[in-house]
Structure 1
Amino acid sequence: MHDLPLVIFTVISQLLLGGFVAFWWLERTKGGISKHTGLLILLSLLVLGGISLLVSMLHLGQPLHAYRAILNFGVSWLSREIVFYGAFLGFILLYTWFWYKEDAAKRDIIGWIGSVIGVIAIFSSAKIYMIPAIPAWDSANTLFAFFLTALLLGPLYVAACLAIRREKAVNISRLSIPALVAAAIVGVVYFSTLLAGLPEAVETAKLTFMHAFFWVRVVTFIAASALMVLSYKISKFRNVKIYSAAFAVLLASECLGRFLFYETAIHL
Structure 2
Amino acid sequence: MTFAELPMVLFTVLAQMSVGAFLVLGVVQTLGSLKFQSATIDRVADPALYAIGPTLVLGLFASIFHMHDIFNVFNVVRGFQTSWLSREIIFGMAFAGSGFLFALMQWFKWGTPRLRQAIAAITALLGVGLVYVMSMIYYTLPSVPAWNTWFTPVQFALTTVLLGSLAVGTAFMTVTMFRRHRLERGGKIFGARVAPERGDHVKVNQLLATSLRWIAVTVVVSGGLLMVLIPLHLSKMAGLGEVGVESLAPYSGTLLVLRLALVAAGAGLVAIFMYAFAKAKSNPRPLAIAVTLAFGLVLAGELLGRAQFYESMVRIGM
The answer to whether the aligner puts 1:157 opposite 2:167 as a matched pair is yes
* Distance change (3 Å), C-alpha of 1:109 and 1:192: same
Q: State the Cα deviation string for residues 40-84 of structure 1 (Å, max 9, x = none).
A: 322221111111111100011322231210100000000011111
1:21·1:111 contact (CA, 8 Å) conserved in 2? Answer: no
| Stretch deviating more after TM superposition (147-156 or 238-247) | 238-247
Amino acid at match of 1:162: F
2:262·2:297 contact (CA, 8 Å) conserved in 1? Answer: yes
The answer to whether the aligner puts 1:33 opposite 2:35 as a matched pair is no
Amino acid at match of 1:33: I
State which of 235, 258, 261 in structure 2 corresponds to 1:216: 258
SS of the residue corresponding to residue 63 of structure 1 reads: coil
SS of the residue corresponding to residue 247 of structure 2 reads: helix
Which of these two proteins has the greater Rg computed from alpha carbons?
2
2:163·2:295 contact (CA, 8 Å) conserved in 1? Answer: yes
State which of 226, 229, 234 in structure 2 corresponds to 1:191: 234
Identity of aligned residues (%): 25
Contiguous gaps of at least 5 residues in structure 2? 34-39, 177-203
| 1:33 CA displacement | 3.4
Contiguous gaps of at least 5 residues in structure 1? none
| 1:234 CA displacement | 4.5
Identify the residue that residue 127 of structure 1 maps to in structure 2: 136
SS of the residue corresponding to residue 121 of structure 2 reads: helix
State which of 286, 291, 295 in structure 2 corresponds to 1:243: 291
Tell me the distance in 2 between the aligned counterparts of 1:234 and 1:73: 48
State which of 139, 142, 146 in structure 2 corresponds to 1:136: 146
Amino acid at match of 1:147: A
Tell me the distance in 1 between the aligned counterparts of 2:123 and 2:298: 25
1:6·1:56 contact (CA, 8 Å) conserved in 2? Answer: yes
Between the two proteins, the alignment pairs up a number of residues equal to 266
Tell me the distance in 1 between the aligned counterparts of 2:98 and 2:297: 29
Identify the residue that residue 79 of structure 1 maps to in structure 2: 86
| 1:7 CA displacement | 0.3
The answer to whether the aligner puts 1:231 opposite 2:241 as a matched pair is no
TM-score by length of 2: 0.79
| 1:199 CA displacement | 2.0
Identify the residue that residue 302 of structure 2 maps to in structure 1: 254
Tell me the distance in 2 between the aligned counterparts of 1:209 and 1:106: 51
State which of 42, 47, 60 in structure 2 corresponds to 1:53: 60
User: Aligned Cα RMSD in Å?
Assistant: 1.8
2:250·2:308 contact (CA, 8 Å) conserved in 1? Answer: no
SS of the residue corresponding to residue 4 of structure 2 reads: coil
| 1:90 CA displacement | 1.4
